[in-house]
Each structure stands twice: as C-alpha cells, then as structure tokens.
Structure 1
Amino acid sequence: MRYLLCLLFCVLAGVAQAAPTNKAYMSIIIDDLGQSSERDHRTLALPGPVTMAIMPDTPHATDFARQAHKAGKTVILHMPMDPATGPYAWHPGLPLPELASRLDAALAKVPYAAGINNHMGSRMTAQRDPMTWLMGELQRRHLFFVDSRTSAATVAAAQAQAVGLAHVSRDVFLDDERSVEAIDRQLRQGVELARRQGSAVLIGHPYPQTLQVLERELPRLKAEGIVLIGLTQMIAERGNQAMPAHGKHGRYSNR
C-alpha cells in the first residue's frame, strides 16, 4: 500500500509539473512603413515576430514588402481610409467598384500581404455597408483584418466577426505621445493587459522614440512572462472573439 501511495504521489507530481502555465501573449504591429528606408530597416531589425504594416502610397512600399517577407516577417497592407487622402484612400460615398479598384491597386503595391489594417479610417470604418463588403472580399482572398480602432464608432471588427473572417482588434496605441517615457508607459499598459486578459495587440509607428523603446524592451519580455507572437497565432488564440474593452461575452458592441 505504501508503495502504491508513493507511486500515485509521483504520478500526480509529474502531472502537476507538466501542466501548462497560463500564457500572456502580445503582438506588435508597426504602421506607416514604406516611407523611409532608414526607418524601415531599423524596424525590420526589431527582434521577434513584429508585423510590418506598409502603406501603398509610399516610395519604398513594394521593395520593403519583399525585404520583410524574405526576412520572415508578417507583412500587411496599411490601407488608407477617410480621413486619409491619396489615390488608394477609401471615402464614404465612393461607389463599390471604385473601392474595389483602390483595394486591388493597394494590394498590388504591397506584395506578400497576409492581411490589412486601416490607416486612419475613423469615418470609413464606421460605414457598415462598405465594411461588410470589405470583410467578404478579404474572406474570398484568404486575408485577415486588423481593426486599428481609430474610432469607438468602428463596425469593422463586428462585420469581420459576423462573416467569420479571421481578425483581431488593437488594444493599445504605443505612441500617441512621442516621448520615450510615454511610450514606455504604454508598453507597460500592454504588458499588464496581456497578463490580465491573456493577450494584447499593440500598434506603434517607426518613430525614433518608439523604436528606441522596443529595441530595449522586446528582448526583456520573455523574462516578464510575455510571449511575443505573430498575428496569425494571435488570431488563433483569440478565436475571433472581442476583448472585454470592445464588447461583451466575446461579441463586439457595435453590431
């Protein structure tokens, strides 16, 4: 009997030791790439699976998309939307064929894009019919969507969820305030959010201050219990569910 109890104790101890611990996942996207080779290359050198969001109307968009893909980074199209301007930008009132044409042209400028996120778009992402069409189109193309949530009125993620499109929503902006101290605070907020809800999606820009903070802090995340993952894995982790700040019971509020 003593032998059996000892054996049972050893088995249970082994199971407890092998039991997976709760993970805190983080994904980081850097927007507005393609404008400056110096900033692009510095961003590309960031450690880990940092996502490169490339604007189509920039001088280095196509070349940098190829470089980032070759380096093993996830590339997404940073799609201009109203109030953004330019030849690719989506605006309320544009006919559907024009929206489709601009999307085609933008994707052609950013090869290897695995998905898209909105550049600006506070007005456009609140337009239900165009967002519904966009999510269906991305589904047809096997691309995912990241709602940058530049407005609380966005319906983009809700429409993605409605059609079953692979997507996530941004939780934290890193650099609305461009100081090292403020960016560091925002990164800390992302760390705490990842610990609290299991995951956090952060968006930043290739500002010198942002890159300085990320170059210093990304190598330290593992020691803090934070696992940096790519967007595809983040989408799988979240399972197309809304985070508590964006809805209730996994469903987005703006439905």
Structure 2
Amino acid sequence: MPKRKKTTPRKNSNFLQYIAWGLSLIIVIVVVFVAGYYVGHDGAKKEVTAKERSKEEAKRSMVQKLEEEAAAKERLKEQSVSQKLKEVLKKESQAEQAPQEAPKKEVAPKESNTTKQKEVRAPKEAAKEYEDASHEVEEELLPIAPERKIATGSQKPKLAIIIDDVSASSHVLSIKSLHLPITMSFLPPSKSRPNSHTLAAKEDFYMVHLPMEAQSFKAEEPMTLRVDDSHTKILQRIEELKQLFPRVRYINNHTGSKFTADEAAMDRLITVLKSQNIAFIDSRTTGGSKAQKVSRKYDLEYMGRDVFLDHQMDKNYIVAQIKKAIQIAKKHGSAIAIGHPHANTIAALGESKSLLKEVELVLVDKL
C-alpha cells in the first residue's frame, strides 16, 4: 500500500496567520470607513448648521433694516401730515374769518368812531378766542372731575377721546390719519361751514356738538340754545338737528357754561333729549353744571368729561393731558377726554400711540 503524506504543522500555522491578517485588514478597513463616515458627516453637519446660522443672521439683519426703513418713512409721513395739516388749518382759519371781516367796508358814514372800532376788532377777538380750547371754559381753572368709584375689576380700562368742533373735511382727514377709534363731534352747519352735516353722514358713528349759551363768549354760534328757550323751542331745535344728523345718539355742549349751570334749562333739554333717545355728554365747561343732578332725576347715566386735552395749545402740555386721562381711566375703569382738531392736538395723539396701548381706546358708545 502506498504511504499517505502527512500535513505538517508548519503549513497549517501559516494558513491560519494568513486568515488572521486578512481579517485584521478587513477590520481596519471597516473601522477606517466608519470613522471617516462619521467624521465627514459631523463636518458636513457643522457646515450646514453654520450656513443656516449665517442665513438666519442675514435674514434678521434684513428684517431689522426693513423695520428701521419703515419706521423712518412713518416718521417722515407723520411729520409731513402734521405740516400739511397746519397749513390746511391755517388757510381754513383765514377763510372762515373772511366773511366776518367783509362788513368792514360797509360801515355807515353816520356811525361813531367807537362803533367802527368795535366792528374792526370783533373778528380779531373771535379768532383769538378760538385759537385754543379755552373758549370752552369760563373759569381760569378747569373744573375738577367728579368723584367716581375706584375700579376693582381686572378688565382693561377704557378711554374715549372726543374731538369737538369738527366741521371741515380737513378735520375729518386729519383725525382719520391717526387710525385710532376717536369720536368726532360735529358742529351744526352754518354760513361759514355749510357742509358739516354731509361730512357726518359719511361716518359710521358721530356726535353733535350743540351750541349752548355761555356766560361771556362773544363768538356765539347761530341757533345757540339759550336759558330762556321754552320746551317747545328746544324740541324744535333738536328735531331740526335730527333731520341734519339722522343717526345722532349723543350730544355734548359747545361752550354752554351759562346754560348747563341753569337747572331749569337743563331739565327742559334733558327731557327733550330723552324723548328723542339721545344721550347728553357734559363737556363740563363750568364747575356749576347741573347736568349730573338732572340726569339722576330722570334715572339716566351721567357722562361727563374728565380731561380737556388742549386747553393750552403746547404739544408737550397735550401729551401730559393724554397721560392724565390714561391715569384717570386706570383709576376708575373709564374716562372721557375732549380735544379739538388742531394740528398740535393731532400730532400729540399720533405721538402717544404707545401710551394709549395701556388702555382700550373706544368710541363713546362703548363706555
């Protein structure tokens, strides 16, 4: 029999070594591949994150730039509106004075020098009185607001701002340019402002600023209610106003320091207004107003002004009065402020928008 060859141990050992080296090489390759993958992935991830962060910063920078440009444009726009408003109101004031100055040329030759002087001075005196809101109040010191209960609820305080003497399109446009819920109180039409009622008709909500007899105001409006007017005469006047302003629900007094201080006269007026479903808001042009007393007599809620915004025409003063109105609203839960369509008043309101966010600015029918 032929003899079988024996496998030597040395050959087996070499074979196993080759296998071990091969496996080691494979493991090294796998480790290198995996490590490279994760290192590369991490680097790519960081790169992507850096790019995204860069894009976000660029976006924020662009938004900030756009906001700054928009704010700058808004400031320029407000300045432009304020300047244009001043020019419009100045021209309008000159136009309103023109009909009053016309009669100077028609003075009769037999009249005395004193009479002539009075005729020449009257328009200037009227214009001077009407330059600010001081014509509304008789006393040197404004009457103190009536005491009310302190607000205890958590509801946001409400503030209603009424702009009196609205009678021209420039007034309406300037008020609307504020984009704030402000109540416009229109003067009844007259020779110098024949279109006040047609302007009011275009508004969703308005008030009527009713002329009433004052103690000493010389530039009295036509058809002013007087203390000796009868119930019938007052009713006739209010019915005429309802024909001109068919949607009127609130009336406040223009001047009226003498009328509102007369209890009998106020009784007749409140009775008529109640029959016509119209509420009276007391402008409080005198500390002796009987409006609150008469309102209580007929179980009506009394509504009266807390603050005059522009008794002085200085813009800083008006801003201070706005702050005062806000504080009163916070204390009592609500407040009423009254101003006039003067350029400084409009400008002060525009600059106080951030302050007014402390309260809920509403029309008077929401108080």
Q: Name the TM-score class by shorter chain.
A: 0.7 to 0.9
Count of aligned pairs: 208
- Written as runs of structure 1 = structure 2, the 5 A alignment for 1:89-168 is 89-168=224-303
Task: Name the residue aligned to 1:4.
Answer: none
- Written as runs of structure 1 = structure 2, the 5 A alignment for 1:104-253 is 104-218=239-353, 220-222=355-357, 225-234=358-367
Distance in 2 between residues matched to 1:122 and 1:81, nearest whole Å? 8
Residue deviations 1:109-149 (CA, integer Å, cap 9, x gap): 23321110000000000111121122122222111110000
Q: Which of residues 185, 194, 204 is equivalent to 1:53?
A: 185
Which structure: greater helix fraction?
Answer: 2
5+ residue gaps, structure 1: 1-19, 235-255
Paired residues of 2:212 and 2:255 also in contact (CA < 8 A): yes
Q: CA RMSD in A?
A: 1.8
Report the TM-score, using the length of structure 2 for normalisation: 0.54
* Secondary structure at 1:26 match in 2: strand
Paired residues of 1:125 and 1:154 also in contact (CA < 8 A): yes
Residue deviations 1:181-233 (CA, integer Å, cap 9, x gap): 110111111111111222211000000000111122235422xx211122122
Distance in 2 between residues matched to 1:95 and 1:162, nearest whole Å? 20
- Written as runs of structure 1 = structure 2, the 5 A alignment for 1:5-24 is 21-24=154-157
* Structure of larger gyration radius: 2
Distance in 1 between residues matched to 2:329 and 2:158, nearest whole Å? 6
Percent of paired sites with the same residue: 28
Larger RCO, structures 1/2 (Cα 8 Å, 6+ apart): 1
Task: Name the residue aligned to 1:27.
Answer: 160
Residue deviations 1:150-190 (CA, integer Å, cap 9, x gap): 00000013212221234411000000100111101111111
Q: Give the partner amino acid of 1:189.
A: K
5+ residue gaps, structure 2: 1-152
Distance in 2 between residues matched to 1:159 and 1:26, nearest whole Å? 24
Distance 1:49 1:161, change over 3 A: farther
CA shift, 1:79, in A, is: 0.3
Mapped pair 1:79 → 2:210 = yes
Distance in 2 between residues matched to 1:45 and 1:159, nearest whole Å? 38
* Secondary structure at 1:56 match in 2: coil
